[in-house]
Amino acid sequence: MSGRAVAVVGATGAVGEELLALLTTRRFPVRELRLFASTAGGESRAGQPVLPLTPGCLRGCDLVVFAASAEVALAHAPPAAAAGALVIDCSTAFRRDRSVPLVVPEVNGADLRGHRGLVANPNCSAILLTLALAPLHRAVGVRAAVVATYQAASGAGRPGIDELRAGIAALARGEAPPPAVDLPQPLAGNLFPHIDAFGAEGYSSEEDKLQDEARRILGVPDLRVDATCVRVPVERCHSEAVAVQLAAPLAPAAARTLFAAAPGLVVDDEPSAGRYPMPSTVAGADAVAIGRIRGGRVFVPGLTFWLVGDQLRKGAALNAVQIAEAAFAAT
């Protein structure tokens, strides 16, 4: 792979900073690096100036990763793709567009074939969920899942992290947390089942994404996913409790073997010894950790398990870099 001209849009945000770190640690062949943000000025952690987005500023790039809002991506991603760049968008802008591949490389990397310059990075919780469902579906088939997510402040970007830190500091002083600004409720010492807007059926758009995106990624259009998405006072790493209905019986021991062999997963499953995935042990890791694997009591045949993944890495930045690596390797 020859050196590439790379642009990161949203370089000063939480995902953008993680992208810059991963480009270095994974030795992505960067010949030229351009950094952009909606608010220009200053330097990123890469020590480079952050520039404003202007017409034509992405021309000549081989790879552009958007870690910005859907509005920014809708305005600037299609022209960048039309100019010849591979564009990977981490926002919601193109995830429902059937002409745009929605990809978790370990699960449906083949969907990158024939892309037209634009690839959507899935929702963070959907990435983690489909990594775990994929080996089960390949082995025996997956019909439905009930999922409760425990989503960290990092899922709301830098503002969410800042609000959590400010609230924790206030509690430590014996004060009430400050009013929420970017989150719907104060998060320190609290949790709430409210991530994104609620629809007519009472589900949030975050909960809808888990079903809609899992169907596309796994290639199971009739998969049923009933989700409750909860924001919790954890700075980094999303967790999920999953109960899955299978098409055929699968013993927990066999499931552990499948999970252990699946790319992107690690098994941490000795609960009697206090070993199970936790945000404190998974933060900064590339793999999604899975444990508490047991036979289901509601779905028969079925399984129940617990998983934790770093939302800023595999849930966002790492998946985007892996998409770029796979796409360029295929050319």
Cα(101)–Cα(118) distance, integer angstroms: 8
HEC sequence for the chain: CCCEEEEEECCCCHHHHHHHHHHHHCCCCEEEEEEECCCCCCECCCCCECECCCCCCCCCCCEEEECCCHHHHHHHHHHHHHCCCEEEECCCCCCCCCCCCECCHHHHHHHHCCCCCEEECCCHHHHHHHHHHHHHHHHCCEEEEEEEEEECHHHHHHHHHHHHHHHHHHHHCCCCCCCCCCCCCCCCCCCECCCCCECCCCCEHHHHHHHHHHHHHHCCCCCEEEEEEEECCCCCCEEEEEEEEECCCCCHHHHHHHHHHCCCEEECCEHHHCECCCHHHHCCCCCEEEEEEEECCCCCCEEEEEEEECCCHHHHHHHHHHHHHHHHHCC
Q: How far apart, in whole angstroms, are the C-alpha atoms of residue 125 and residue 260?
A: 20
- Is 61 designated active site? no
Q: Which residue, among 21, 20, 16, 19, has the nearest Cα to 38 in the 3D structure?
A: 16
Would you call 124 a catalytic residue per the annotation?
yes
Place of tokens 């709430």: 192
> Of the listed 124, 137, 229, 237, which one is catalytic?
124
User: Beta partners for 305?
Assistant: 242
Query: Which of 313, 254, 292, 319 lies closest to 95, judged by CA?
Result: 319
Known catalytic residues? 124, 238
